[in-house]
Amino acid sequence: MLDRKFILENIELVKQNCANRGAAVDVDRFVELEQTRKAKLIEVEELNRRTNEVSKLIGKAKDQAEREERKEQGRLLRQQTQAAQAELDALAAEADDLLRLIPNLSHPEAPIGVDDKSNLELFRSPTSLPEFDFQPLDHVELAERLDLVDFEAGASVAGHGFYFLKNDAVLLELALQRYAVETLLGEGFTPLTTPDLARNDVLSGIGFIPRGPETQIYSVENSDLSLIATAEITLGGMFAGQTLEAESLPKLFCGVSHCFRTEAGAHGRAARGLFRVHQFTKIEMFAFALPEQSDAMLDRLRGIECRLFDGLEIPYRVVDTATGDLGGPAFRKFDLEAWMPGRGEFGEVTSASNCTDYQARRLNIRYRIKGEKGTKFLHTLNGTAIAVSRALIALLENHQQADGTIVIPEVLRPWLGKDRIAVKG
RNA sequence: GGAGAGGUGGCUGAGUGGUCGAAAGCGCCGGUUUGCUAAAUCGGUGACCGGGAAACUGGUCCGCAGGUUCGAAUCCUGUCCUCUCCGCCA
């Protein structure tokens, strides 16, 4: 969320930003609520002050009569205080609900537009698009021929959108994980396997809505837990409520986790095969940074994503995400879209976001500079290293050969133990 | 899952109804002393929200949420977490 004071001082800017992002939030109503809230706060504090004053006097009362008289006075004050406090709480809750709906500010260079059609292509990969002298297959057909994925079994066990990886696809998943983690270790990231569930207040701190008709999240009945949609949730939640030393920043983590998404309302749209599934494995990068570090850190995360896909010899383009497509927390977001021959178009495979202090403020993650008074909110960033299901699509489809085999890129061979996937026997 | 113990400031740790935002020690910052370092010594040293140009000042915070009371770190309830023992288990 944004700083309440900042909103009051920059009402027009915030309204314009909401419009650019397609966020229908009543900013004026928030401003009005916030102003009455402040006035009420002063009133409550004054009542508290008087209540405290009276309470202190009771201990020093000279005799029983005076004591009783003051107690009565205290009782009356308490009633008034409680009433005022209740009004304040109601105002604060309503203002807070609105505040949490206001999206982050947007980077001045982010393209302005209501949806992904306004995304701006920045550059393309050194790997050029493949030229096939045969009719390329899509990953579903390839997986079928090579016996790599069992969609039917997935559907019968857990429903549409679930799948079993099989044979070399399993080795590929492990190889991709290992490749990503090794690369990130070389970059100074601390590797973590994270919980696949998280408390709902962590979810909403990161910016997800755990329950409700629009939710993308599976929640666990009779508990405060949900299945995570990304390790961004657990990694970001690690330091909730904590104050870190400035000199310990930036902190870099890579998380290995499963991701679960209901994909409510997304059926039929590019839903074939592994593209839009309810569960996948992902290696995620997460950074806790000082404000002055976050711009460069976003470039760094994007650079790592590019290098990972360069190593996989997969063609892609990098886009600067338009304001309307940023979601709530991101200040700026770069996506890598890999070429997917089966669809004949680019499909999102990774995403790197600078969320500035938006998540940190919700999760209350601060930093302290040695020798300076007070604390400030740090910046959080996240980026996909490898989302296995989508990386598999790009890998299979781009590296397919005329003879029906898949050539494995050099970087995965040490982990896979072979240079080619072929039909068995 | 069962039985206990406990969660207090950056850390250790006192505090069982008022003068407690909280002893003491450590750490940290500053002064004095001092060839240098160390030691000694004196003083300062929590966070958040608000008011004020500032000095300063009001409120809130002793895991979290409620309750009792004029008044709660302290009493009550719930909850989360940690530790120990037992059971179960990959």
**pLDDT value, residue A272:** 87
Footprint of strand B on the protein (CB under 7 A): A 4-5, 38, 41-42, 44-46, 48-49, 51-56, 58-59, 71, 74-75, 77-78, 366, 370-371, 373-375
Protein residue closest to B47, using CA and C1': A374
**Residue A348 a catalytic site member:** yes
Long-range interactions of A143-146: CB distance < 8 A, separation 24+: A143/A169, A143/A273, A143/A274, A143/A396, A145/A404, A145/A423, A146/A404, A146/A406, A146/A421, A146/A422, A146/A423
- Evaluate whether A4-101 and A116-421 have a shared fold: no
**Residue pointed to by tokens 């004054």:** A46
Which nt has its C1' nearest the CA of A67? B70
The string of pLDDT tens digits covering residues A142-189 is: 999 999 999 999 999 999 999 999 999 999 999 999 999 999 999 999
Domain ranges within chain A, ordered by starting residue: 4-101, 116-421
**pLDDT value, residue A269:** 56
**pLDDT value, residue A267:** 63
Checking if the pLDDT of A217 tops 70, the result is yes
Checking if the pLDDT of A112 tops 70, the result is yes
Checking if the pLDDT of A407 tops 70, the result is yes
A53 CA from B77 C1′ (Å): 29
Which nt has its C1' nearest the CA of A78? B70
Residue A287 to residue A298: CA distance in whole angstroms = 9
Average pLDDT rounded to a whole number, residues A325-330: 93
Of A67-76, A277-286, A290-299, A385-394, which range is least confident?
Answer: A67-76
A236 CA from B51 C1′ (Å): 35
Protein residue closest to B17, using CA and C1': A59
A374 CA from B82 C1′ (Å): 29
**Residue pointed to by tokens 């004591």:** A67
In order of A30, A40, A93, A376, the CA distances from A87 in angstroms are 16, 8, 10, 29
**pLDDT value, residue A425:** 64
Residue A247 binned pLDDT confidence (cut-offs 50, 70, 90) = confident
Checking if the pLDDT of A16 tops 70, the result is yes
DSSP A114: S
| Cβ within 8 Å of residue A148, ≥6 positions away | A142, A165, A166, A167, A168, A169, A172, A396, A421
* Mean pLDDT of all residues belonging to chain A: 92
Residue A214 binned pLDDT confidence (cut-offs 50, 70, 90) = confident
A253 CA from B48 C1′ (Å): 29
**Residue A390 a catalytic site member:** yes
**pLDDT value, residue A350:** 97
Residue length, chain A? 425
- Name the catalytic one among A204, A219, A294, A351: A351
Average pLDDT rounded to a whole number, residues A106-130: 94
In a 10 Å sphere around its CB, with 0-12 CB exposed, 13-18 middle and 19+ buried, how is residue A410 labelled? exposed
**pLDDT value, residue A44:** 92
Residue A68 to residue A72: CA distance in whole angstroms = 6
ipTM: 0.86
- The CATH architecture annotation of domain A4-101 reads Orthogonal Bundle (1.10)
**pLDDT value, residue A176:** 98
Checking if the pLDDT of A371 tops 90, the result is no
Average pLDDT rounded to a whole number, residues A400-413: 96
Q: Which chain B nucleotides are covered by protein, judged by CB under 7 A?
A: 18-19, 28-29, 46-51, 58-60, 70-71
The string of pLDDT tens digits covering residues A263-294 is: 876 666 567 899 999 999 999 999 999 999 99
**pLDDT value, residue A415:** 94
Q: What angle do CA A338, A340, A343 make, to 5 degrees?
A: 140
**pLDDT value, residue A355:** 97
Residue A149 to residue A236: CA distance in whole angstroms = 32
**Residue A219 a catalytic site member:** no
**pLDDT value, residue A73:** 87
**Quick one: how many helices (H) and strands (E) in chain A?**
13, 17
Average pLDDT rounded to a whole number, residues A374-397: 96
Query: Structure tokens of A105?
Result: 């500010």
User: Regarding the domain delimited by A116-421, which CATH topology (the fold level of the hierarchy) does it fall under?
Assistant: BirA Bifunctional Protein; domain 2 (3.30.930)
Average pLDDT rounded to a whole number, residues A117-139: 95
Average pLDDT rounded to a whole number, residues A313-327: 96
